Amino acid sequence: MTSPGPKTFTEHAYLFFKGVGMGTADIVPGVSGGTIAFITGIYEALLTAIASINSRLVLQVLRLNLKQALAGLHLRFLVTLVCGIALAVISTSHLMHYLLTEHAVQTWSVFFGLITASILVVAHSINKRFTSFPALILGAILAYGITGLIPLYTPEEPWFIFFSGMIAICAMILPGLSGSFILLILGKYAFITAALRNPVNPDNLETILIFITGCLVGILGFSRILRYGLARWHDYTLALLTGIMLGSMRKVWPWKITLESQIIRGKEHVLREENVWPLLDFEFGIALLLMLTGFMLVMLLDKISRQRT
């Protein structure tokens, strides 16, 4: 209980439901749990909690000084948040697949409104907007380019599986980029999911362990880079992250046509698509209403968050 994190039941509940939001977002290709962490105001706390898993913690555990190890680890924060993420991944994956398949325009419209508002909320926290504007443009260009990449045919060697884990997990904590989408681009989504379906196979178990190791190295290293950036160059880092969200809007535009897709484990995964202008009909009006709902929800959450602080 001496470690940082929520203390009351209400605080745990708030953090748990934020984790549910992050887990739900991670299921959607092109939407990141990092975006939800930004929207709900726990992004910097998340980076700090991840950074609490360090070499000092490992040494304390090896010396069996468990009390000291747990005191420095943001255990209550991480456990509550991860439980929310896990519940969402397990319980809402089928629902999100159904919504994206049967009501794609309406679902993407909500996310479009959510991310549009979150861009404004995060940009409002930048103090030196003029001098940090180049960082925003850089982030927007990077995200716009990445979301338009065509999946590659890549090797199945251990070094590349490790590399894929590092890159995918980094995308998951960056607002605007999806880890599953990055795996599709790297040509390893089908390979990794196939291994996860039969983990008892020795070859698959080796693949999973290599991938998880890459994820651990990636998230522990990259979270420290982001945390240092926010501490040392706060405005420039926020501007870069805002630009990434802005550039990723290309992926969440509700109206699009599929140019190329692939069936992986019974589900269709879009490899290439093209954004189109909507028809001005009744469906367009519903989509605008849903965009506004998502937009207002973020603004309300931001207002509540500011009042709590």
Residue 272: phi and psi, rounded to 5, are: -140, 140
Nearest to 161 by CA among 200, 202, 217: 217
pLDDT band, very low/low/confident/very high, at 210 (cuts 50, 70, 90) = very high
| pTM strictly above 0.85 | no
Is the pLDDT score of 309 beyond 60? no
Residue 24: DSSP 8-state = H
- The predicted structure's pLDDT at residue 291: 92
CA distance 220 to 211: 14
Is the pLDDT score of 52 beyond 90? no
- The predicted structure's pLDDT at residue 264: 58
Asked if 226 contacts 123 with a C-beta cutoff of 8 angstroms, the reply is no
